[in-house]
Amino acid sequence: GSECMAILSIIKDLADLTRRVLGAGEVMGRWGGEEFLLLLPGQPLDLAMARVEALRAAALDIKLPESGVAAGLRVSLSAGMATSYEGATSLDEIIARADVALYEAKRDGRNLVRIADESLQAATTAIRRALRSRRML
């Protein structure tokens, strides 16, 4: 229905915005539901943070229909960032740390960017248990 159309419109607008902001070799893909995974290979943390902040700020300008399910709402972007510091053993570990940072951004009020702790010690029990079950820890 109209809710599905509004979500698809937001995803399309976010994809268009991302294409304008990202550089060569940088990609973003849908990770599930309303979550996306952004890969910025070789970017130092300060430049990656600037890129994600630019996306976050630009997402606020995405226009929603003024009637129907989206009336009175606006698009915002919460992000968790993690680096592939020396010692990070897998992409799954990096994603798990970014996921923890994302939940911190949501907990702290949404429409924020948070950077992950450089260790899995900060990860939630559920994330650590899931990684252990895949024999990654």
Please list the active-site residues: 34
Closest CA to 15 of 59, 64, 67: 59
CB 101 within 8 A of CB 82: yes
Helix ranges (DSSP H) in 64-121 = 91-107
CA distance 22 to 118: 25
